[in-house]
Amino acid sequence: MPTYSGDLKTALLNLAKLMNYPKGEQAYQLASEIARLTTYSDPEIVYWFSRLVSLND
């Protein structure tokens, strides 16, 4: 399974334009917690983060 070699959290928050918003941090932490229940891989964190951020739209 592929992994992200940089700072995944920073990359995701920048991409979602949520770097300076507390909800962005909360979404990343929740995505990480969900991913810990299964594979806890970068792609899974990205998946859950994108799902959570889409709820804000």
pLDDT of residue 2: 56
* Cα–Cα distance measured from residue 3 to residue 7, given in angstroms and rounded to the nearest whole number: 11
Q: What is the pLDDT of residues 14-55, one digit of tens each?
A: 889 999 998 899 999 999 999 999 888 889 999 999 999 988
- What pLDDT is attached to residue 57? 61
The number of folded domains in the chain is 1
- Report the pLDDT value the prediction gives residue 3, as an integer from 0 to 100: 60
In this prediction, residue 33 carries a pLDDT of: 95
pTM summary value: 0.80
Are 27 and 15 contacting, i.e. CB atoms less than 8 angstroms apart?
A: no
3 found inside a domain: no
Range of the domain at 26: 8-54
Give a yes or no: residue 33 inside a domain: yes
For 20, other C-beta atoms within 10 Å of its C-beta total 8
